[in-house]
Every structure is written in structure tokens, then in C-alpha cells.
Amino acid sequence: MKRSENAISIYQELYFNPNETEVEQVHNRVANCIGNSKKQINKFEQILNDNIFRPNSPCMINARLKEEAEKLEDHDNNLVACFVIKLEDNMSSIMNMWSTCAKVYAGGGGTGFPITNLREKNSPIAAGGVASGPIEYMKVVQRISDTVKSGGKSRRAANLGCGRYNHPDIIEFINCKNNYDFSAINISVSVDDWFMNQVELENWEQKIELISPNHKKVVGELTVKEIWDEIINNAWSTGDPGLFFIDIINKNNPLPSLGKIESANPCGEVPLQGDSSCDLGSINLTKFIEESEFKFERFKEVIKTCVEFLDQIIDITSFPNKNIEQMMKKTRPIGLGIMGLADLFYKLEMTYGSKESITLFEEICKNLTITAFEKSIDLAEEKGSIDLGQDKDHFYNLLLGYGLSKEYLDKFKKVGIRNSNVTCIAPTGSISITAECSYAFEPQMALIWEKPLSDRNKTLKFINKDFLDACFKLNIIIDDEKINEIINNKGSIQSLDYPEEVKNIFITAHDLGWKKKLEMQGVAQKYISLAISSTCNMPNSATKKDVEEAYKLAYKLNLKGITIYRDGCKNCQPVNFGQIKDKDSTVIEPIKLPSKRIGETIKLESPNGTIYITGNKVNGKLIEIFLAMGQIGQLENLLINSYSKQISKSLQYHMPINIILDQMEGQGGLKFWFKLDEEKDITVSAESLLDAISKIIRYHFIEEEVDGYSIKDKSKSSPDESYNICPACGKRTLTFASGCRSGMCMNPKCTHGFSCG
């Protein structure tokens, strides 16, 4: 098959492994990795070679034969793109999230996480001190995303943070992309039916109680209007936040006994319980046209093959941690979707958004999900079912709603089902280009457009082939002058001199209008078991009222979420009509650990007992921390050992050590004094055990100043130990002699304590 220059460019940038120079070599490698028999391998290879099907990019990049995979790190064997990370209100869970994020990015995936369960900023910690708040932890995610490039390539990782509307920090969360660099994090506000009903009824003064996640107490209140206005204003100005309709999502949760769904993957099409992932793939709809008709029987046969392909990925792929592996093998969600819908309409000479196009799209989605569930039931009979437990009746009702036949509903009762979810519609960016078709179900962004490759060293230029063919049939010559004319018209021909029959067919996203686009999405969502990734594109002239109407309409159409993008509201755009400047970017690989490392152990005497802190370095860089207590097997030892493993993993995936120490330092708890340097007889105070450990790591292993002491400067005078460390300025200038409970700082540049009586 002859392939376009653009398709080959994607293979060269993303998918070619060492020694691969042909597209068919990639497909052969992928098919041999996933297939279980010669017949199945041939079948998989055929749908790849014919541009009928593509799995998600991590599978195209990382699929290898078992003997090759065993030689590589786990993240190099990741075959899935989407992860939803469980996040609880404790440091162990937060550190686990950071470590998991780094592994996911290294394997080419993206993450979603809920900030809803994290206590608010300045919330008291039981042992003393105050919490940093969700935004501070999101900053670490951004730093890791900047450092660990997706899949070892130059693409930056993607994330989605979801925050519930009644979280005490919700206003700061909504505004966070205005105030901080969260370019690698999309954000969505989780809203329930009650909140949206208040919006619909315009009960603007209705009070919203802000609930502290850890204390479960009301700590403040806002009105519906205050929250809604912040959402709309920011969405209009930055494209964030989107909305996450949490009640709609959980009504369609196939396994509610496993817990509530609180977040989705970065693009929003995979809402799942925490510690889950989903392997995605998409079918090219343009491959089922014969004699100007869509051939559903051929489509169904391909669906069955693709379900086999995706289901088998779950047994082959590596996972970033055991919790995700266990959840995936327990629930086995897959997300089979579509691409090339806009091209399908062009080829069938249908107007995107017309009644006939909506009818066809609805039938495609219905057949996609019904056939996928039927195949999953067949696989359950052949290979075994997931354990539905108390959710079986609920699952049966979901299948009934999708329209499965009585034959398969009865079979489900007998044998169960192999996969908890089967369909979603993902963005299909790179894989659509390799399959030579339009993105997912999206209308064409433009008839002529440019896409920068992620390393900004090359720009792909696109001219829609169906449009050129239509013009050729009508003897319309598309020369450089006409191309520039279309480019200057934002890729559209609607206000230009073309026949009406051409204009009616070759419409673009901005020609269509956002309302029609949302209606198309609503039609699809009825028959998609997961969700749909889609951005509601608006012209630059769109008002805040338009954004508000779009969010309301999305809820009315029973969508699971919505994101808008107003043309020109961000510095970078998905479609470009001018020249794109090249920009270099650096690829940073995870650290390869040698078998021999140089280490040092420091003893810490604490109220919890003796703790041994070992730091190992490679080429002078700290890459491991081990913490051990004397009483082996006790809970404290298990916890501190687990904590050190999280620190080590974070270091090995390039998290800067100062980010880790900044989170540990100042953590409240039992205050005590300890020997920072035994040889120099230096004693300092600690706010808690974590604070003491962080000071030892900073002083001994990265050789930075601690409380005025430096391992590099032997002549430096000792600070006055009659004073404590001020929580405001960080200097050892705090005295309690005044009788003030918070102390008074004697630093003339600090006002801490001067206002207490």
C-alpha cells in the first residue's frame, strides 16, 4: 500500500523501533506481540496494513516479542495509554501518585487524578502543622511532566485533574491555570445533578457548603453564582476548566460496588475507578464504503477482531504498580472507538450534522457497542468472565439499555462477560494520520491545515484529498492562489466562490457551529459505554454566554463531560494556518541503575527509635534513599520503608530532590532535637520525623545549608540555638518569651507574632 508522506513522518517520529525502516515492520511487530496463533497474527497484521484499525500509540511504540520485552524496564512494555490514579489524603498516596505518574509518562501514557479527597490548603494536620493543599501537589505533577517525556519521545505528558465543586479550594483550583504553569494538566470541575439543576433554575444565591475532605466539616460557603461565574469566565479565557458530570457518569458505572468514579484520563473519554487503565483502539470508518453505502456486516466482523486484539493487550502489557494491575485484570476495560467520520461523510456526500448524517452516526455507534459487548460475552464463554458479584443485575440492565438481543442477554446470564467496558471515542491524533483519515468523530478542522510534530522540528501540511477529488470532477483547478485563499479563510470555503453542492458537503468545524457538534456527541454517547473525547470549538467572537449555553446543553444532552476551546484563547492551537517556528526540546530518559552504587548511611536518634538513612549515588547524583528502623516488622518500620521506596522511585524517574524535600520539610508532628552532624557536634530541632529526615538528606547527601549549617563550610559560625526557627521567614529568630502561643520573630524584616496579644 502506498502511504502518504505525513503518515510515514509519524511512523518515523513515533513508531519505528531501532532497525525498523518500513511501516509493515511495525505492524508485523505489533501483530506478533498481541496475537496468540499464526491465524490470529495474520488477521491482526492485515487490519493494520490495510489502515482499518490502530491501537493506541503506546502499543504501536512498545509492542515487542516476550524475549525482547524481558530485557527492558517495565515502562518500556506499556501498551496502554490511559490511567486513572487513585488519590487519598495521605503522603503515601500522594508520593505513590507522583511515582506512578513518572512511570506512566515514561511508557507513553497519560494520567487523570481527583484532587477532591485532598484536604484544603492550611487545613490542620493532626500531629501539628498545616496542609499544603491540592495545588501544591499538582505543581509536582507539572514538574514531572516537564521532565519525563512521554514514551521517551519529545512529547510532554498529559494529565487531567478533577476537583469537586464543593471542595474548600475550588476557587483556587478553577483559577489555577491563570496563576501557575499547568500546561501539562487539563482541569475539570466535578458537578452533580443537584448543582446543575440550581444552574438551570438560576438559583444563583443558593448557598454551597464547602466541605473539608479530611474533617468532613463545613469550613466555608459560596453561592452557586460565585462558583458558576468562575467556571465560565475561566473556560472562556483559557479553555479550562471543563465539566465532569459525576452523577451521569456513575449512573452508567458498570461496577458500582468497586467505588465511585471520580476522574477520567487526560482527554476525558475514559472515566474509571481509581487505579485503573484502559487500552484503546480505533476503527477507520472509511474502509467500509461500497457503492456509496456503509457496509455494516463487514464493520461488525472487524469489531469482533478488534475486541480480541484489545482484550489480549491486558494480559501482555506491563503496569506501573500492582494496584493498577490487579484492578485491570479484575475489570478488563477496553475502549474500542472510531475515526474517519468526517471523511466518511465527505465520501458519501453527506453534510456533517444533517439529519441523515446523525442517523448514520447513531447506527454506527449502536452497532459498535452492541457487537463489542456480544464479542465480550463470547470471550467470557471461551476464556472466562470477570467477577461481577453484586453488580450483575445492574450490568444486565445496562446491556438491555444498549439494545443487546435476547439471545445474548440470556447468554450473559449464563457465562457473564469478559470486559467491564468496551467502547469509547478517543481523539485519535497520530493514529488517524497513520491510517490516512480524519480524527475520531470530529468534523474536519480545516480543508487545508498544518500540524507541528511534537518536537517542532517538522510541520505536516494537509490538503483534504476528498475536496481535491470533488474539485477535479467539477473542473475546478486548485492552484497556489486558491490554496492561499482557503488558508486566509481559516481553511474554509464557505465564503468563497465554489458551487453550493461543494460548500454543502465540505464544511469544517467552525462552519458547523458548536451546537451541531454537541448534538452529534449526544447521539453517540447513548451507545458508548465509556465516554467521548471532544472539544467544543468556538470562534474567537464567542461570548461567555455562549460558553454557558454550551455547558448547559452538554448536561441536557446527557454527556459525561465537556471541554470548550475558543479560537485564539491560548498561545498554541491544534490547527495552524501560518508558518510554525521550530523549537528544540530535550528528551530525558529514566535513570538506568548500575548493579554497584556508592552509598553512605547516617544514623538518626528520634523519639520513634533509631532510624538509619542510606543514600546511594550514581555519577554524583542521588538516586536512592533507604530508611530502616531497628524493630523489623513493626508498623512504623513498614511505613517508613515504603516511604523510602517511593522517594527512590521518584528520584529514578527524574523528580528533582528539592521538590521531595520541600514537601517533607515543615511537616508537623512530634518536635524533637537531633544530631545533624555527629563529628561537628551539630544539634538542630525538627518539627517531626519527616522534617528531620529531610534535613539529613539535604545536609549529608545533597550538601545544602540546613538551619545555618553547611557541610561545605567548616568555619561558619553556629547560629544561636536559644532561638527557634520562624515559620514565616525560616530564620532561627523565633522566641516564645513574649508569651504569644505562636512566638515572636526577632528578624526585623519579619512581622510574625507582633500582632498577637
Of 673, 613, 615, 677, nearest to 640 by C-alpha is 613
Range 565-569 contact pairs with CB under 8 angstroms and sequence separation of 24 or more: 565/239, 565/535, 565/536, 565/537, 565/538, 566/236, 566/239, 566/538, 566/539, 566/540, 566/542, 567/510, 567/537, 567/538, 567/539, 567/540, 567/542, 568/540, 569/236, 569/237, 569/238, 569/239, 569/540
Of 670, 665, 669, nearest to 727 by C-alpha is 665
User: pLDDT value at position 535?
Assistant: 87
Higher-scoring residue by pLDDT: 56, 746: 56
pLDDT digits (tens, 9 = 90+) for 197-223: 999 999 999 999 999 998 889 999 999
Q: Distance (Å, rounded) from C-alpha 422 to C-alpha 399?
A: 11
715, pLDDT greater than 60: no
Domain 81-258 sits in CATH 3.20.70.20: yes
Q: What angle do CA 4, 580, 539 make, to 5 degrees?
A: 95
- Residue 149 amino acid letter: K
Which residues touch 711 (CB under 8 Å, ≥6 apart)? Answer: 677, 699, 700, 703
Mean pLDDT of 4-33: 93
> Is 265 marked active-site?
yes
pLDDT digits (tens, 9 = 90+) for 451-492: 776 554 677 788 899 999 999 999 998 888 899 899 889 899
Q: Distance (Å, rounded) from C-alpha 717 to C-alpha 714?
A: 8
Please, which pLDDT band fits residue 588 given cuts at 50, 70 and 90?
very low
Q: Identify the three-state secondary structure at position 697.
A: helix
User: pLDDT value at position 731?
Assistant: 57
Contact call for residues 29 and 20 (beta carbons, < 8 A): yes
Of 659, 516, 565, nearest to 268 by C-alpha is 565
Mean pLDDT of 286-291: 96
- Residue 594 amino acid letter: P
Helices 514-525 and 544-556 meet at what angle, rounded to 10?
20
Q: Which of 77, 265, 421, 637 is catalytic?
A: 265
Q: Distance (Å, rounded) from C-alpha 160 to C-alpha 187?
A: 5
373, pLDDT greater than 70: yes
Mean pLDDT of 387-400: 97
Cis omega before residue 18 (within 30°)? no
β-bridge partners, 735? 744
By percentage, how much of the chain surpasses pLDDT 70?
A: 87
Mean pLDDT of 407-425: 98
**621-629/609-618 β-pairing:** antiparallel
DSSP label at residue 124: B
Q: Identify the three-state secondary structure at position 658.
A: helix
Higher-scoring residue by pLDDT: 693, 590: 693
Mean pLDDT of 360-374: 98
Q: What angle do CA 276, 324, 115 make, to 5 degrees?
A: 55
DSSP label at residue 494: T
By percentage, how much of the chain surpasses pLDDT 90?
A: 59
756, pLDDT greater than 70: no
Contact call for residues 559 and 248 (beta carbons, < 8 A): yes
Q: Distance (Å, rounded) from C-alpha 624 to C-alpha 113?
A: 26
Mean pLDDT of 36-63: 96
User: pLDDT value at position 570?
Assistant: 64
382, pLDDT greater than 90: yes
The residue with cell 496579644 is: 757
Mean pLDDT of 564-573: 70
> Is 726 marked active-site?
no
Mean predicted lDDT score pLDDT of the chain: 87
pLDDT digits (tens, 9 = 90+) for 647-671: 888 888 777 787 788 778 766 677 8
- Residue 621 amino acid letter: K
Q: Based on the number of CB atoms within 10 Å of its own CB, is 613 exposed (0-12), middle (13-18) or buried (19 or more)?
A: buried
Give CA 304 to chain center in angstroms.
28
Q: Distance (Å, rounded) from C-alpha 419 to C-alpha 315?
A: 13
Write down the pTM of the prediction: 0.77
pLDDT digits (tens, 9 = 90+) for 528-568: 999 999 888 888 888 999 999 999 999 999 999 999 988 77
Q: Which of 230, 269, 442, 624 is catalytic?
A: 269
Contact call for residues 532 and 559 (beta carbons, < 8 A): yes
Of 551, 517, 560, 520, nearest to 537 by C-alpha is 517
pLDDT digits (tens, 9 = 90+) for 118-160: 999 988 877 677 888 999 999 999 999 888 866 555 456 899 9
**Phi and psi, residue 203, nearest 5°:** -80, 65
722, pLDDT greater than 50: no
> Is 407 marked active-site?
no
Of 440, 441, 436, nearest to 463 by C-alpha is 436
User: pLDDT value at position 740?
Assistant: 43
**Phi and psi, residue 633, nearest 5°:** 95, -15
Residue length, the chain?
A: 757
Which residues touch 248 (CB under 8 Å, ≥6 apart)? Answer: 193, 555, 558, 559, 560
50, pLDDT greater than 50: yes
β-bridge partners, 622? 617
pLDDT digits (tens, 9 = 90+) for 670-705: 788 889 988 888 888 888 888 899 999 999 988 888
372, pLDDT greater than 90: yes
Q: Which of 101, 267, 471, 726 is catalytic?
A: 267
- CA separation (Å) from 333 to 16, 277, 343? 28, 8, 29
User: pLDDT value at position 69?
Assistant: 67
Higher-scoring residue by pLDDT: 536, 163: 163
pLDDT digits (tens, 9 = 90+) for 732-752: 555 544 334 455 565 545 555
Of 132, 233, 121, nearest to 172 by C-alpha is 121
**561-566/289-290 β-pairing:** unpaired
435, pLDDT greater than 80: yes
User: pLDDT value at position 719?
Assistant: 46
> Which three cell numbers mark 62?
512498545
**Phi and psi, residue 657, nearest 5°:** -60, -35
User: pLDDT value at position 634?
Assistant: 56
Higher-scoring residue by pLDDT: 374, 99: 374
Q: Where are the domains of the chain?
A: 5-18+25-73+278-415, 81-258, 598-719, 724-757
pLDDT digits (tens, 9 = 90+) for 307-353: 999 999 999 999 999 999 999 999 999 999 999 999 999 999 999 99
First to last CA, the chain: 83
Identify the weakest region by mean pLDDT among 393-407, 485-499, 616-630, 690-704.
616-630
User: pLDDT value at position 314?
Assistant: 96
